[in-house]
Structure 1
Amino acid sequence: MQAGPSLRGYAAVTGAYWAFMLTDGALRMLVLLQFHRLGFTPVQLAGLFVLYEVAGIVTNLTAGWLAARFGLAATLIAGLVLQVAALVALAQFDPAWAVATSVAFVMLVQGASGVAKDLAKTASKSAVKLLAPPGQGLFRWVAALTGSKNAVKGAGFFVGAALLGGVGFAPALYLMASGLALILVAIVAFLPAGLSVRDKGARITQVFSRDARINWLAAARLFLFGARDVWFVVALPIWLQASLSAGMPPERAFFFTGGFMALWIIFYGAVQAGAPRVVRGAATSALTWVLILALVTGALAMTALLTPGWTLVILGGLLVFGAVFAVNSSLHSFLILDYAGAGRVTMDVGFYYMANAGGRLFGTLMSGVMYQLGGLPAALAAATAMLLLSAGAMTRLRAAG
């Protein structure tokens, strides 16, 4: 494969997205473990991420228009700059602040980070359709970007937990901000000129899709990611931290908690990147795979309820969830680019990822609530119900043709 302009542009966008997602994963783990250590309840911990997800909904709704209006390059760079600012701002947190002040401050900073993430994501994933080498399979290139991104984000979970135990909260944030700023300067020089093209006639009202397939796919995505985050965001790390802390020092428990979550995301990303080799007929396969995922999750919920001491078995089951979920996610990421109109790629992608952010918001809120009500089994039971709703939306998508 020759490294033509399109491939170099794809590599530059991928590199920028990798750098961003490394800090995104690390930041989530830093915030979660730091404030759990400070005594925040599961519901309070979930609340810290609410504005992050709300910002994602709003940003995705408008990011497609912004990318069309101001260019993909400007949108991607704005996301990276805002993330650096968010990391530096969060380093100013003072543990002596009152709980209400702490929650408000962290929510605002997380909200800015949420805006940054979805600016970067919409620009990066839209660029794939424009930069992927022709005749080599769009599914392959979408899966490569998405899978590698998740592997890097998984490494970020480990980096965040290790930095918290090794250098502390504020120094970790300064280190990440410095590293991302250096990468931003390097990346700007390699972004292709084609990503700066603007559509001055793009209107904000055009972000809403009239394609029934995209609307049903967005609904399916909402429940799919809600089903992941309802157990992953708050329930899993608190449950695992509590399980490990009984037999080891807190710092080592941080390390192993972050390590497993990193392993889960990296494994999920690796399977996601290889999805094109194991599926055929994307829309039909997406329905089949989400039904398989619902069965896996229901069995895992029963295992966690009836045999709570089987920690290794439960963790193994969560890896199975990750593999099946990865295939589902990769299929969805391909379908949205396949269905997106040639003249409105960024707006269709932005609308679709608005639904993704909505699912993450719902899952994040429910993660704290369900864990507080019934622990990890309750969170997994809620995930099963969401997956069945996702399957219902995929059934309607197939009917829409």
Structure 2
Amino acid sequence: MLARLSPDVRQYLLITGNYWAFTLTDGALRMLVVLHFHELGYSSLQVALLFLFYEIFGVVTNLIGGWLGARIGLNRTMNIGLAMQVVALSMLLVPAAWLTVPWVMAAQALSGIAKDLNKMSAKSSIKLLVPAERQGALFRWVAALTGSKNALKGVGFFLGGALLTSIGFRAAVAAMAVALALILLMGMALLKRDLGRAKSKPKFREILSKSRAINLLSAARLFLFGARDVWFVVALPVFLAQSLGWDFWQVGGFMAAWVIGYGIVQSVAPFVIGRRPGHAPGGRSAFGWAAALAVIPAAMALLLTRPVAPQNVLIVGLAIFGVLFAINSALHSYLIVSYAAEDGVSLDVGFYYMANALGRLLGTVLSGWVFQVAGLGACLWISAILIAIAASVSTGLPERLEERFGSPHA
């Protein structure tokens, strides 16, 4: 059956399968580490610290990884990411006495680098498989890849808990390492060897984008993801547990279900936005959907001060927020691939996802600090402000196709 497909479709399926396998194990690993080290007696702060380098290294990896992909090819950066994840998993197979906080932080740092190399490579590759004039198809392909990834990440949370319960930590980690090693061998054999390699070797100083559209979109992405994580990462689960009395499985299951639903909405975003024939979404769409999203956390913050059940406010509000945020995220993911220069596409995509990682890091830090000082309501107000900034920045994004492709790095 695969032999009857076009070469580009076969490459897309290989890239997507590679990305799916990595994402599934990445979500499972996060849940395995949280649950296992909680069982070992680690405090919540120590468990949180285990993921600190995972996020920090995402900023650096996306910036350098894009440059590396343009020099050596995206097939190699994707395979390097898989290999690093196998090493990171193997580091967790040492005797329990060796699993100190610094050792596990190092393993998670390696895993964070691997994750962002894999993501940057997958997203950049699609640009090279779809003709520039087929923007509708590009939107659908990017949305399908991004949405399925996030849905699988949620499934990975459940998989991690199931594996820990059924076969234990070491066996679960070993099984995932073996599975990824097999995927790595398949990728080395079947992915195009010159995929994404720039015609001229880009210099290291070129990692900072010179495109106004990409700089604006990256800034909007930073504020958008900072707005999500400022209340979603720390404040929300702690509030659910402490203030509403939810147990660990209720919190974890709720968050995993939200991520799965978020991914499904991302996948169908091209049909939700309702593109006209021959028209691809641009700056006006990015502004409109961000402006609509900004209303939700502000409304939630107001309702939390009224005599309304907080649980109802959070469940309904988070559902609406998830739908609108998924559409915003899918739209941004399409726009960066659309705006990126075809030669050395990973330079632009890597720069953009560096901003994404920086936004997640900013949001995570703010979430813990603001929630501790002023509570969940303050986190929601900051979220609304950050989204409003993202919407404002989006007004400068180009709208017409000729504005995107006429001078990619003007």
Taking structure 1 as the reference length, the TM-score comes to 0.87
Unaligned runs of 5+ in 1: 248-252
Q: Confirm or deny: 8 A CA contact 1:220 1:389 kept in the other structure.
A: yes
- Partners of 1:366 and 1:169 in 2: CA distance: 32
Q: Cα RMSD between the aligned structures?
A: 2.9
Residue 275 (structure 2) pairs with residue 273 (structure 1): no
Match for residue 109 of structure 1 among 91, 107, 110: 107
Alignment of 1:231-380 (within 5 A): 231-242=231-242, 246=245, 253-279=247-273, 280=275, 281-304=281-304, 306=306, 310-380=310-380
Percent identical pairs in the alignment equals 49
Q: Which amino acid aligns with 1:126?
A: S
- Partners of 1:310 and 1:121 in 2: CA distance: 36
Q: Confirm or deny: 8 A CA contact 2:124 2:196 kept in the other structure.
A: no
- Partners of 1:195 and 1:181 in 2: CA distance: 21
> Residue 148 of structure 1: CA displacement?
1.1
Q: Secondary structure at the match of 2:358?
A: helix
Q: Which amino acid aligns with 2:21?
A: A
Call closer, same or farther: CA 1:372–1:180 in 2, change over 3 Å. farther
- Partners of 1:305 and 1:177 in 2: CA distance: 48
> Residue 9 of structure 1: CA displacement?
0.3
Call closer, same or farther: CA 1:138–1:399 in 2, change over 3 Å. closer
- Partners of 2:161 and 2:317 in 1: CA distance: 23
CA deviations over 1:139-180 (Å, ceiling 9, x no partner): 111111111111111111222233345544444333322332
Residue 158 (structure 2) pairs with residue 158 (structure 1): yes
Call closer, same or farther: CA 1:171–1:190 in 2, change over 3 Å. same
- Partners of 1:315 and 1:34 in 2: CA distance: 28
Q: Confirm or deny: 8 A CA contact 1:301 1:377 kept in the other structure.
A: yes
CA deviations over 1:340-376 (Å, ceiling 9, x no partner): 1222311011111110010011112222223333443
Structure 1 residue aligned with 2:77? 75
Match for residue 31 of structure 2 among 22, 29, 41: 29
Call closer, same or farther: CA 1:33–1:229 in 2, change over 3 Å. farther
Call closer, same or farther: CA 1:191–1:298 in 2, change over 3 Å. same
Unaligned runs of 5+ in 2: 276-280, 404-410
Call closer, same or farther: CA 1:142–1:399 in 2, change over 3 Å. closer
Higher alpha-carbon deviation: 261-270 or 118-127: 261-270
Q: Confirm or deny: 8 A CA contact 2:86 2:181 kept in the other structure.
A: yes
Where do 4+ consecutive residues of structure 1 move more than 6 Å? none
Q: Secondary structure at the match of 1:85?
A: helix
> Residue 45 of structure 1: CA displacement?
4.9
Structure 2 residue aligned with 1:63? 65
Q: Secondary structure at the match of 1:341?
A: coil
> Residue 380 of structure 1: CA displacement?
2.5
> Residue 183 of structure 1: CA displacement?
2.8
Q: Confirm or deny: 8 A CA contact 2:79 2:187 kept in the other structure.
A: no
Q: Secondary structure at the match of 1:397?
A: coil
- Partners of 2:163 and 2:371 in 1: CA distance: 26
Q: How many residues align?
A: 390
Q: Confirm or deny: 8 A CA contact 2:284 2:399 kept in the other structure.
A: no
Q: Confirm or deny: 8 A CA contact 1:222 1:360 kept in the other structure.
A: yes
Structure 2 residue aligned with 1:393? 393
Structure 2 residue aligned with 1:202? 202
Structure 2 residue aligned with 1:250? none
- Partners of 2:97 and 2:254 in 1: CA distance: 27
Greater per-residue helix proportion: 1
- Partners of 2:250 and 2:323 in 1: CA distance: 21
> Residue 73 of structure 1: CA displacement?
0.7
Q: Secondary structure at the match of 1:131?
A: coil
Taking structure 2 as the reference length, the TM-score comes to 0.85
- Partners of 2:293 and 2:97 in 1: CA distance: 41
Q: Confirm or deny: 8 A CA contact 2:128 2:196 kept in the other structure.
A: no
Q: Confirm or deny: 8 A CA contact 1:29 1:258 kept in the other structure.
A: no
Structure 1 residue aligned with 2:43? 40
